[in-house]
Amino acid sequence: MLFKVEMDITIPPGFDPDGLDRLKAAEKARFQELQRAGTWRHIWRVVGRYANVSIFDVESNAHLHDILTTLPLYPLMTITVTALCRHPSTIHDDDR
């Protein structure tokens, strides 16, 4: 199942800069692990915000939820999820 996931990150005032750097490094490592597995298929930055729009390919809603809660920056995120389905006019075979 494909999902569009919008993630907005809000850093609380006074958040420890070193702790934030560690969280960002851990987030990048987790993202790359999920990308290599084919689960986190695409990611784009949102211009002017600490946010991204991503495409996930997972087996269920619950699976996506479980993945999102493992992200190191999850406690700082506001997340919007939209379920997607294959468009009948696509020419790409991997758009499930």
- Farthest-apart Cα atoms in the chain, separation: 49
Query: 2-47+59-84: which CATH architecture?
Result: 2-Layer Sandwich (3.30)
Domain-by-domain residue ranges, the chain?
Answer: 2-47+59-84
**Cα torsion through 96, 45, 37, 89, rounded to 10:** 10
The helix/strand/coil state of 60 is coil
Does pTM top 0.85 for this prediction? Answer: yes
Integer Cα distance of 89 and 85 in angstroms: 12
Reading the chain (96 residues) residue by residue, the pLDDT tens digits are 999 999 999 999 999 999 999 999 999 999 999 999 999 999 999 999 999 999 999 999 999 999 999 999 999 999 999 999 888 888 877 766
**Cα torsion through 32, 35, 40, 46, rounded to 10:** 50
